[in-house]
Chain A
Amino acid sequence: MNVWIAIGVTAVGCYAVKLAGLLVPGSVLERPLVRRLAALLPVALLAALTAQQTFGDGRELVLDARVLGVGAAGVALALRAPFLVVVGVAVAVTAGVRALL
């Protein structure tokens, strides 16, 4: 049930902000500070999520095969690999390290 609540709340919220952008007069959102903050918010969220899902296990911090997998994805990104290749490298390296250990 909790999962359905989360999906429902997120769906309504995400649709509302998409629609708001199409309906709200430009002057409200065009203030420089609001735009700066909106551009920077995903940076903070994505950085925190990347770190947590690489090192987190429930409420503990651990070092496991994911670290090498995500590290390899970082190398793939630096080499300008396409999106799907980046994700594929992370999965393959993580699986490979787990199989070896």
Chain B
Amino acid sequence: MAHETAHTERPEPGDTGGGKPDAAVVRDALGVGVAVGLSGFAFGVTSAGAGLTLLQTCMTSLLIFTGASQFALVGALAAGGNPFTAAAGAFFLGIRNAFYGLRLSQLLALRGPVRPAAAQWVIDETTAVALAQPTRRAARIGFTVTGVTLYLLWNLTTLLGALGAEAIGDTEAWGLDAAGPAVFLALLAPMLRGTVERATAALAVVLGLGLLPVLPAGVPVLVAALAAPAVLYVRGRRDSGRVRRSESRGNEEEQR
């Protein structure tokens, strides 16, 4: 979903930057909110196909509200993982939102009482829209409009997707079990910019597939997550004589 927003992040060509009109901010935010909100349909279908009830599917979107974690959770449950290993995989995917919150709290300067309410909307898309705005006022409008649009549409399309999957019955005959991995691939692809990212992904695939037959369901993904610190460690040792490069690599993260 972060991949989607990359196109809309940039200001419109005619904009002067400093004085972006509110209507332009709202238009950008609505565009992202609608496009990504519609993909809640894929989640509803996948979740129903994984065996969750209509109520469980809808509560997942209402309460968890961070796409990759939701797909990971229902995938792990479908594979027969125990609830805590399933939750752990989903939780680790959600950790990136803490770093978005960090950027947003400085940018939006939210007052204390507003923060607990705003927190649920701290996700890939709202962050991308807010960070792309030239002023604090525009960032606040962008964050709020994206958050409201996305929350409403994501939950509505989740419901419709789950109802649709129940109506058609055998979701595998319709190829709907391929929706989950396609979503993960679409989220992953724009992250594979450098050799560190590619090495991490390759190692994680080997660990995830190699351990699947031998460890309990849900655990291989958690072990595969160790590919991230492992690659960083190896890279760090190799780079120990060239510390300065790590600073330029920091810039890649800024774009995320």
Contact = CB atoms under 8 A, between A and B. Distances in A.
Interface of A: 2-7, 9-11, 13-15, 17-24, 26, 29-30, 32-33, 35-56, 58-61, 65-66, 69-70, 73-74, 77, 82-84, 86-87, 89-99
Contacts of B202: 47
Given A13-B87, A22-B110, A48 B208 contact: yes
A65 B35 CA distance: 28
Contacts of B217: 58-59
A14 B176 CA distance: 26
A68 B177 CA distance: 12
Given A53-B75, A83-B39, A90-B178, A44 B201 contact: yes
Interface in B158-213: 172-189, 191-192, 196-197, 200-205, 207-209, 212-213
Contacts of A93: 175, 178
Interface of B: 1, 3-4, 35-36, 38-39, 42, 52-53, 56, 59-60, 63-66, 68-69, 71-73, 75-77, 79-80, 82-84, 86-87, 89-102, 104-106, 110, 115-116, 118-120, 122-123, 172-189, 191-192, 196-197, 200-205, 207-209, 212-213, 217, 220-221, 224-229, 231-232, 246, 249-250, 252-253, 256
11 contacts: A7-B63, A17-B97, A17-B98, A19-B101, A21-B102, A51-B204, A86-B185, A87-B42, A87-B186, A91-B176, A92-B175
B95 A66 contact: no
B59 A14 contact: no
Nearest to A69: B178
B174 A91 contact: yes
Contacts of A32: 246, 250
A10 B175 contact: no
Contact of A48 (B65, B82, B204): B204
A90 B182 contact: yes
Nearest to B184: A50
Contacts of A90: 175, 178-179, 181-182
Contact of A45 (B66, B192, B203, B221): B221
